[in-house]
Structure 1
Amino acid sequence: MKALVLFHSLYGHIYKMAEAVAEGVTRVEGAEATIRRVPEAIPQETLERMGASHAQQTFAHIPVAAPGELSEYDAVIFGTPTRFGNMSGQMRTFLDQTGGLWMQGALVGKVGSVFTSSSTQHGGQESTILSFHTTLLHHGMVVVGLPYAFKGQMRMDEITGGSPYGASTIAGQNDREVSENELEAARFQGRHVAEIAKKLAA
């Protein structure tokens, strides 16, 4: 069973979550995880003004995906920051290039899942994941979230991301680190997706 973890990250939070998701995938026997990123559309000089250029260097070694690659995997787990309650423009642009896969039905029956981040505690994490699901359903994918079997999403002793729709993190003003509970949610989601995809692939 092969899973693709495809992400867009600006300040590195989603990249850290992507690594944890991939780790979770590999906890399933016979499951392989590949991490790829979507192209960054913001010019380098603008990234520098935004203070994002240093963070971008931490995942510059991750290869950029091509839309056609998605059909090579049994599951695709997408990571995107929240942009006004929706996926980022970079992720949207990438998905808008998958029309050929849609015409072929190349993703029908494959597992799709989403994780996200936002600056604030109620910054559109759930709407981002739910609106992302629309694209996956149009592709005929089997949508998988983060079940309450992951007890960490019910914690009340700390601020944390996570919902039944998918793992998430709160970035603050890009100065908050991804918490261990949020990373564990990402690992759980990766493993959960891999377990389901493995059964479907069989």
Structure 2
Amino acid sequence: MTKVLVLYYSSYGHIETMAQAVADGARQVDGADVTLKRVPELVPEEVRKNSGYKTDQAGEVLQDVNELENYDAIIVGTPTRFGNMTSQMRNLWDQTGGLWGNGKLIGKVGSAFTSTASQHGGQETTLTSIHTTLLHHGMVIVGVPYSHPGLTNMEEISGGTPYGASTLAGADGSRQPSENELDIARYQGQHVAEIARKLKG
């Protein structure tokens, strides 16, 4: 059994939707056991309500960072904050010093996906900044190969990069992930699960 964790943070549901697509793709791989979890929220409840955050989300909250060592692949999803991961996601990874010190994630597969408000809002820097953290843990980084035709789709405005799947939420958050973006996310999940299965042998 290849254990895959899709670990995400989502304020308004865009990354949650992408996470579910990534998980669906990973589930297409024989022997893949896929878990969907989200990181703890740091924003006070009153602020979340006043800001319209989506509080009813599919993934249960990851309570203990040490759980990360139980997976063969970890696919990280987060919106961008000034070209980097959100503070909620950063906070979780900042607690993994023990895992790092004991080499618990070395050789496991790492991957990332993201969302931005605008077409050039930091998608690729966010993804590569996540990769940097995963590389410090000794993980094997997997992106989205250009064998997926959605990466070169010029018929519409669309997210999707070789560094990981992505979506455009719009300045007011009204745009939802497109079918092309979701298809890339599913492909990423499947590709990561396949690589993890091969590495596990």
User: Which SS does the other structure have where 1:114 is aligned?
Assistant: strand
Question: 1:109 — aligned with what?
Answer: 107
1:157-177 superposed Cα distances (whole Å, 9 cap, x missing partner): 111000100000000111001
Determine the structure 1 residue equivalent to 2:181: 182
For residue 151 of structure 2, the aligned residue among 150, 153, 158 is 153
Structure 1 residue aligned with 2:94: 96
Runs of 4+ in 1 over 4 A off after TM superposition: none
TM-score (norm 1): 0.96
Match of 1:75 in 2: 73
| Equivalences, count | 198
Identity of aligned residues (%): 59
Residue 198 of structure 2: aligned partner: 199
Q: CA deviation at 1:32?
A: 1.3
Q: Distance in 2 between matches of 1:13 and 1:109?
A: 30
Alpha-carbon RMSD: 0.8
Give the whole-Å Cα distance in 1 for the aligned partners of 2:184 and 2:99: 30
Indicate whether 1:49 and 2:50 are aligned.
yes
Taking structure 2 as the reference length, what is the TM-score of the superposition? 0.97
User: How far has the Cα of 1:62 moved from its partner?
Assistant: 2.4
Q: Distance in 2 between matches of 1:107 and 1:85?
A: 25
Measured against aligned partners, the alpha-carbon deviations of 1:138-180 in whole angstroms (never above 9, x if no partner) come to 0000000011111101111111000100000000111001111
Q: Give the C-alpha shift of residue 44 in structure 1.
A: 1.2
- Name the CA distance, whole Å, in 2 between partners of 1:177 and 1:81: 13
Structure 1: distance between partners of 2:27 and 2:129? 28
Q: SS of the residue aligned with 2:85?
A: coil
Partners of 2:20 and 2:29 lie apart in 1 by: 15
Gaps of 5+ in 2: none
SS at match of 2:61: coil
Partner of 1:121: 119
In structure 1, runs of 5+ residues without a counterpart are none
Q: 1:138 aligns with which of 136, 139, 143?
A: 136
Give the SS at the match of 1:185.
helix
